Amino acid sequence: MTHRITMVAGEPSGDLLAARVIEGLKAHEQGLQFRGIGGPQMQEAGLALDYPMDALSVFGYIDAIKQLPRLISIYQGFKKKTLAHAPDVFVGVDAPDFNLRLEEQLKKSGIPTVQFVSPSIWAWRYQRIEQIKRAVDHMLVLFPFEVDIYEKEGVPVTFVGHPLAQQIPKTPDARAARIRLGLDPDKPVLAILPGSRQSELKALSQVFLQTAQKLHQKYPELQFAVPLVNEARKQQFIELSKGITLPNLHLFEQKQAQQPVSRDVMEACDAALLASGTASLEMALYKKPMVIAYILSPLMVKVMAWKSGQSAPLLPWIGLPNILLREFAVPEHLQEAVTPEQLMASCVRALEDKAYIAATKAKFEALYNTLAIDTPRLAAERIWQVATAR
């Protein structure tokens, strides 16, 4: 008997997660058929494409509003196809705005649903738990603290670890990474990651570079490594850095068919100055001290408050390492606190304070060990249970 699995991922991180789950399912059971919405990683793993992942790509709330008619058309078309196809299970990978709405309709029609990656209801819009209850037969979560939330709410849940931990070496080799990047292996390195989105670079690039200027005066041999996701972001960064002189600055652009250049930079560095986001979790998995910063425009603050009904997150932290450790293990600078002087002070500690550096690395070692479990196998086993339960 052939079992059919429909999946949806809406962005590159979800594409990678879903591809690994497809491989896990194929290792678990022969003759499975996969179709849905995904990217190149999922296609390579065996997904037959109904729509390309790029069709769901939006950049923030404003773009989502502009793209709403197109997204509604894709949603309606894909829902119709999925109901007609009647898969044994539907797996939504992240992309909660699209997937939870679809899962609710599929579950009503008797199609089992699994959501892989919980929306961050622990930070914003906890009321979405009601929709999740209606939409999801089983929730697969990346972080252990999320299990308690769903168990309390009566939603079946399984912690499956975070696939990023399996992709990052348990013992990073900073010297080898510096040599790969063409950096001096004997001189210290500060990684600078101002984000992957145009708005993030616009908000953070200049203040990060001004901070680096101050650090250069204190540490003349310090090397600054900046990974950029593509040529457009590289050109934007160069434009934003005009008029800012900074020796020892090295820019690295992502090339196709290579591991993310940001990973090499993370492995090579002694510490990092970065935008809040997934990069902070990756840096923690590389066991490096870091300084997290983020600036939202006044318009985005208003839009987020309107969409979530909150003026601030439910937790006191925004950085994933701090959220997972439930403490300010690394400093966070937000909005008006993102100044060269304040960032400089935090960076000096991350580069110089040996006791703090050792304590931070020990916390990140423990975090790595918690998350580095066999995610594809665990996710595949649970998805298969849901698919065959009926």
Sequence spans of domains, the chain: 4-161+373-388, 174-372
Confidence class for position 327, pLDDT limits 50, 70, 90 = very high
**Collapsing DSSP states into helix, strand and coil, what is residue 9?**
strand
Beta strands 189-193 and 47-52 are unpaired
Confidence class for position 200, pLDDT limits 50, 70, 90 = confident
Query: Domain 4-161+373-388: which topology?
Result: Rossmann fold (3.40.50)
| b/e burial code for range 288-307 (CB count within 10 A of at least 16 → b) | bbbbbbbbeeeeeeebbeee
* pLDDT number for residue 129: 95
Q: Do domains 4-161+373-388 and 174-372 have the same CATH topology?
A: yes
Taking the alpha carbons at both ends of the chain, their separation in whole angstroms is: 15
Give the integer Cα–Cα distance in Å for 103 and 193. Answer: 35
* pLDDT number for residue 74: 87
Does residue 287 contact residue 207 with C-beta atoms inside 8 Å? no
List, for residues 355-368, the tens digit of each pLDDT value.
Answer: 999 999 999 999 99
Tokens of 154: 């009566």
What mean pLDDT comes out for the span 130-159?
Answer: 96
In sequence order, what DSSP letters do the residues of 367-387 get, joined into one string? HHHHH-S-HHHHHHHHHHHHH
Beta strands 223-228 and 138-141 are unpaired
For the chain, strand residue ranges (E) read 4-9, 33-38, 47-52, 89-93, 113-116, 138-141, 157-159, 189-193, 223-228, 249-253, 271-275, 290-294, 332-334
| List of residues 6+ apart from 332 with CB closer than 8 A | 276, 292, 293, 294, 317, 318, 319, 322
- pLDDT of 40 > 70? The answer is yes
Hey, which residues does 117 pair with through a beta bridge?
none
pTM of the complete model beyond 0.95:
no
Q: What is the CATH number of domain 174-372?
A: 3.40.50.2000
List, for residues 202-261, the tens digit of each pLDDT value.
Answer: 999 999 999 999 999 999 999 999 999 888 889 999 999 998 999 999 999 987 656 789
For residue 188, which phi and psi values (nearest 5 degrees)?
-65, 155
The number of beta carbons lying within 10 Å of the beta carbon of residue 359 is 13
